[in-house]
Each structure stands twice: as C-alpha cells, then as structure tokens.
Structure 1
Amino acid sequence: MRWFLVFLTIALAGCNDRTAAPIRPDALAVGLNKNVFIGTTRAINEAGEYGIDRSTELSLLQATVSIPPNRTLGSVSDGLDKPKPERDFTLAALSEFNTASKFSQSLQRDIASNSSGRREVTIFVHGFNNSFTDSAFRLAQLGHDLELPGAFVSYAWPSRANPLGYEYDRDSALFARDGLADLLEAVGNAGDPEIILVAHSMGSALVMETLRQLEIAQPGWAGRHIRGVILMSPDINVDVFRSQIKRIKVVPDPFVVIVSRKDAVLRLSSRLRGQKTQLGNIQNIEDVSDLPITLLDVSEFSDRRSGNHFVAGSSPALIQLLRRSSDLDREFLRGRAGTTITLPGQRRVVARKLTPSALVPGEAR
C-alpha cells in the first residue's frame, strides 16, 4: 500500500497545470462544434480566466467546444495553454450572460432547436482535479460519443485542478452546493425541461449534498424537478450516501450508480479513510440493497488512463455498448427484467434494482 501511494503521488504530481483556458475562434472551422452551457462558482483570476478560487456569485455562460477530428472514441485531449484544434478539444467561443433570465432564455432556444424533439437537459458535475475547461470538454465528449439528445450544461465548481489538492477540492465541493442549487433553478426556468443530472467521482458527493439541502427546504423537490440521476464512480462513503438518499422524499427514477470493483482511485480513497470501499467500488451490495437505486457494474470493462475511474465515459467498448441501449433507455436503467445489453463475446452489463440477491460479489455483470 505504501509503495502504491508513493507511485501514485509521484505520477500525479508530474501532471501539468491545467488552469489555462485560451479561446481559439479558428477552431470553429476545424472540428465538430458542440454547444455547452456553463454555470460556475470559480472566480476570475489575474489572467482573466476562471481559475481555482471560489466565488459566491454564480456565473452563467455559453461555450462552443470544438471536438477534434480523427480522435479515439472516449478520449479527451487538452492542449493546455497551447491547444491544437486538429488534435485537441478547444474552447472556440465563450460568452457570459449578465442575468439568469437571459441564460434560461438562451438555453430554452437551444432545447427547442434540437432535431430529436427531446426536451432533455443533461447537467454534468465534474469530480476532483478538474479545470474550468475540463468539465466542458468532458461533457462535449460524453454528449457526442454517447449520442445523447437535448441540451448540455456543465457545472464547473472551483476544483484546484491539481492532483495534490484533494482537501481543497473536498471543501470546494461543500462550498459549491448553493451554486449548483441556483444553476438547477436557472435550468428549470428554461421551459421546465426534463433534467438528467450526471456526476462523476467527488461531483457525486456535491450532487447528493445539494439534493439533500433542497429536499430539506422543499420536501419532494427532486421528484418534481429531476427526471433521472446518474452517478459515475461516486467518491462517497456508503453510510453517508444512505443518509443522503433517505432524505429524498421521491427518488428520481431512474437513479443509476455506475460502479467498478477495479477502480484504483476509489481503492486509494477508501484506504485513506480507513474504509474497505467507497460507493463507486462497492463490494457488498447488501449495504445498499434496500435503497431505490439501480446498480450498473462495469467491472468487466477497463480504462487504464483513469485507473478505471471513468470507465463509463472513456472505455470505447463500453461506449459502443451504451450507444446500443436506446439512449440509456429508462426500462434498462430501471432494471426491468430481461433488460440486458451485450457486446460480441462475453462482456455484458446488467442493470436491475438492488436486492440482497441481485448481484453476487465477483459475478460478471
């Protein structure tokens, strides 16, 4: 364990500073352009960019992300302060709304222009060690690769974007709860769309804390305003998660938790806490078997680049599988009988409501 910690710290410490967010209008003519709305509680730094400091004011923006051609499915390449649009995800345009109502109106127009006719909005909440552009790039990648319908909104809370900033990020996630609540209100005012709330890692803890505080203030709020919740590799203690979800009067359906027993990052997070597992790499489903959630175990798939911590968004094989699930069909995510999706070979994913016998530890699901 000691050598694992030393190795991981050295590897992560070698990462570059990723706070730069240059805007390259020329990228509009290079890659595939994706419209992403952004809410952020990051303060503007001396360079005039949204940096790592916290702001009590929620800034609302609209960005155009250029997705480079000829990229590998599931990959996100960031050129930092010198992006190359033919190779990297690039911020091609960025504008700020001076009022929440203008943000909502623009988002409503974007929803109405969607060719699928779906009135969905996917709100993505990033995890630990993310920059301002990271969350927008990842959401653009997820929307494109998974062929998700509707509009896209990123919540860029003030992560330090440094692998050694875990404690800072954990405090920032708590700080960012009010900002996420305000963003949810602004999105809801865009014609009352169907909101799909998606979070990764530490962002899942932020989402659950925000839903909990909204439920305390307005019992039943989540059931009235959120169509579905997807937590990917949630970095949440299981006991804490139980206390959070039990506060929600009407749990959104589907409520999906994507887990992997091979998640090296959550294995480390668990051990640093003196625990065996976090929710995202849970081994004993009895711990949550009484909760109204669907467990999606993706342990058979891998993404070495993330230590299996972002398999759902980075594994090309799993992305291809999820594409075949009819836009993450609600019957599949609700765990209805017979809703199994497969790839050629032996790999498969089964989603079903948790019961004490729903998932045998070690069984391939």
Structure 2
Amino acid sequence: MSFATDRNDTKNSDLNERFGGKRSELQYGRIVVSIPYTHTLGEIERPSYWRLEFSEDPSKHIMMQSLKKQNKDDFFKQMKERIAKNGKSTFLFVHGYNVSFADAAFRTAQITFDLRFSGESVFYSWPSQASTTSYTVDEANIEWSTYNMKNFLKDYLTKTDAKNIYLVAHSMGNRGLTKALIELMNENPELKNKITEIILAAPDIDADVFKRDIGPKMISKIGKPITLYVSSDDLALLASKKVHGSYRAGEAGSQIVVLKGIETIDASGQDSSFLSHSYFATTSNLIKDIFDLMKSGKRATDRETLERVSKANLQYWKVKKGQE
C-alpha cells in the first residue's frame, strides 16, 4: 500500500511507532501489511492481553512487515505504474479521530482485503493523537492538515492516470477531505472529472453546517456520486454531539441528513460492537454494500443490500437486516 502523512517521523525501529502525533511536512512511502490466514471479515486482529498475546504473530495478527519512505517524484511515478498494471483503479482512505499511523495502515489493509480490491490502496494519515482524551487536539490537527491534504489530492488526481478513483473518509477525517476537496475544486474545477465516487462514513461534522454549506458545495462543484453512511447506534458521534451541542452529519434518526445529490445510507442496527463507530469497515452487510458500489457502480436504488425510505419528498436507504 502507499501512504502520505504529515506526522513526524520518529525514526523508531518499531514500525508501529514509526510516525508520531506531531505535525510535520508531507511525507510519502510504501508499506507492506500482512493479513493472517485466519482473518475474519471486518476484524483487525491484533495482540490481546486478554488472550495472553504479548507480541505480534503473523499467523494470528495483521502486521506491518516493512515501511519505506520515498521522495515525491518516485512515489507518484511508481504509483502511476502500479495503477496502470492493476486495472487503473485506486482508493484513498482518510482515517478519523483517535487513530495512530499503524491503526490507519491496519484499517486500510483490512478494507482492501475484505473488499477484494485489486487496485492501488492509499491512505492519508494526519497527526491524530491516538488518544480518547485528545479530541480537541485532533480537531486542531485535522484543520491544520487540510492544506496538505488538498495538495496531496491534487497530485493524486493528476499524476496517476487512474480511471477509477474512490475517496473514502471516516469520522473526523471527513472534515479534512470535504474541505480539501471543496478548496481544490475552487482552484481546479476540471479535476472533478478524475473522481469516480466519494464515500463519507460516519462524518463527525456539524449536521447543520453539512446541510447548508458542505453538502451543497460538494454536489455543485464536484457533481460526482456521493454516498453518506450514517447510524443512530454510533456512540462516538453521540459523545461528539454532547461536546458540540449539535447533531453530527453521521447520525441517523430524526435529524438524518438527506440532500438531493447525496445517497444517504442508514446503517443503524448493523453493528453490535462497543462504540459502533467503524461499522462501515467491520460489518459484513456494509462491506458487501461498499463492495457492490465500487465493483459494479450500482446506485443505491439498484443494490440488493438496501431498501428505500421516504422522508418529506426525499428518499434515503436503509441496510436490510439479515443480509449475508
């Protein structure tokens, strides 16, 4: 997989600690992550003290095997070559709050494997503190990273010659991706033709701001399919709502965001995990839906995993229960 990051390089020999939580210049590289044969769909298998696992084991755990930094020219030159050989498809993943560089790498590898994605997988890792108590620091850092993210997106869209480019963001990462995209399209509107699909999963963004400002601008300036995954079970977003005093764009329920030009998918009731915040990548129904979306290009109305819901002359979709 390829990565771009504006985290500080710690030079640590432990690859899991190679990039920290401090701000830095934009850096590029390649990383190899192994998936165990025993991998379970939607899982990131890591050592657990509860299972008396005190070190990584490639037969049991998702692991980083190697990491190599590259200069910008080599990075995009080699990426272009790989994309040309692998069906001219690529996706970029931008992680959310409370995520380390290693966590972002593991999640990208898991998504790639579970979606059976054969193209070029790329992730952008901004300097999240990877700490539940550092929410406001992460908020400041995703804002700071937006400029770097915009510049990376410009290169990613122009230097790779990809036929299909999917942009995927999760949680707080949606703040950076949506703002960077809007600013980039203001400067280079022709680049919208490079984008195939935008997937916004559980966005930790003020719902009113999204409905009034962000959503309409993305629809008008990009004009490409946008899929919004939301859930009423997401405890992380409920905590964010309490902090900010406003509904989040990733919430379902009475304040669900429904805009003409964006396909809203309600994933409530699909994830039984502790926080139910990473459901887009951890539940089989959602993985199946995203796979269908990216593989076939089918819109929500044609995907078997979904059922239509009407609301005030607008419509959104809900993931069917019992789908396997």
Which deviations, in whole Å up to 9, do the C-alpha atoms of 1:134-193 show, x marking residues without a partner?
111111111111222411110011000111110111111011112212222332202254
DSSP-derived class of the 1:197 partner? strand
- Are residue 90 (structure 1) and residue 57 (structure 2) matched? no
- 1:227–1:252 Cα contact (<8 Å) kept: no
Find the partner of 1:71 among 39, 47, 51.
Answer: 39
Alignment of 1:89-238 (within 5 A): 89-98=62-71, 100-114=72-86, 118-188=87-157, 189-218=159-188, 220-221=189-190, 223-238=192-207
Match of 2:297 in 1: 330
- Are residue 350 (structure 1) and residue 307 (structure 2) matched? yes
- 2:258–2:316 Cα contact (<8 Å) kept: no
Distance in 1 between the 2:67 and 2:182 partners?
A: 32
Structure 1 residue 75, shift from structure 2 partner: 0.5
Which ranges in structure 1 are unaligned for 5 or more consecutive residues? 1-35, 343-348
- 2:146–2:176 Cα contact (<8 Å) kept: yes
Is the alpha carbon distance of 1:119 and 1:192 closer, same or farther for their aligned partners in structure 2, counting shifts above 3 Å?
A: closer
Structure 1 residue 97, shift from structure 2 partner: 0.9
Letter in 1 for 2:149: L
- Are residue 315 (structure 1) and residue 283 (structure 2) matched? yes
Structure 1 residue 241, shift from structure 2 partner: 1.5
Range that drifts further, 194-203 or 84-93: 84-93
Structure 1 residue 282, shift from structure 2 partner: 3.2
Which deviations, in whole Å up to 9, do the C-alpha atoms of 1:232-282 show, x marking residues without a partner?
11111112213123334333432000011111111111122112x211113
Is the alpha carbon distance of 1:228 and 1:359 closer, same or farther for their aligned partners in structure 2, counting shifts above 3 Å?
A: closer
- Report the number of matched residues: 309
Range that drifts further, 186-195 or 164-173: 186-195
User: What is the TM-score with the length of structure 2 in the denominator?
Assistant: 0.86
Structure 1 residue 132, shift from structure 2 partner: 0.8
Q: Which runs of 4+ in 1 moved over 4 A?
A: 320-323, 351-355, 362-365
Structure 1 residue 203, shift from structure 2 partner: 0.5
Distance in 2 between the 1:153 and 1:105 partners?
A: 14
Distance in 2 between the 1:241 and 1:78 partners?
A: 35
- 2:267–2:319 Cα contact (<8 Å) kept: no
- Are residue 260 (structure 1) and residue 231 (structure 2) matched? yes
Find the partner of 2:12 among 47, 51, 67.
Answer: 47
Structure 1 residue 310, shift from structure 2 partner: 1.2
Match of 1:251 in 2: 222
DSSP-derived class of the 2:222 partner? coil
- 2:88–2:161 Cα contact (<8 Å) kept: no
Is the alpha carbon distance of 1:282 and 1:90 closer, same or farther for their aligned partners in structure 2, counting shifts above 3 Å?
A: same
DSSP-derived class of the 1:105 partner? helix
Distance in 2 between the 1:296 and 1:204 partners?
A: 16
DSSP-derived class of the 2:197 partner? strand
Distance in 2 between the 1:135 and 1:252 partners?
A: 28
Structure 1 residue 353, shift from structure 2 partner: 10
DSSP-derived class of the 1:331 partner? coil
Distance in 1 between the 2:221 and 2:183 partners?
A: 14
Q: Percent identity?
A: 26
Structure 1 residue 65, shift from structure 2 partner: 0.7
Distance in 1 between the 2:233 and 2:257 partners?
A: 19
Which ranges in structure 2 are unaligned for 5 or more consecutive residues? 49-53
Match of 2:251 in 1: 281
Distance in 1 between the 2:73 and 2:298 partners?
A: 35
Match of 2:243 in 1: 272
DSSP-derived class of the 2:116 partner? coil
DSSP-derived class of the 2:315 partner? coil
DSSP-derived class of the 2:149 partner? helix
Distance in 2 between the 1:341 and 1:168 partners?
A: 41
CA RMSD between the two structures: 2.7
Distance in 2 between the 1:322 and 1:154 partners?
A: 17
- 1:43–1:54 Cα contact (<8 Å) kept: yes
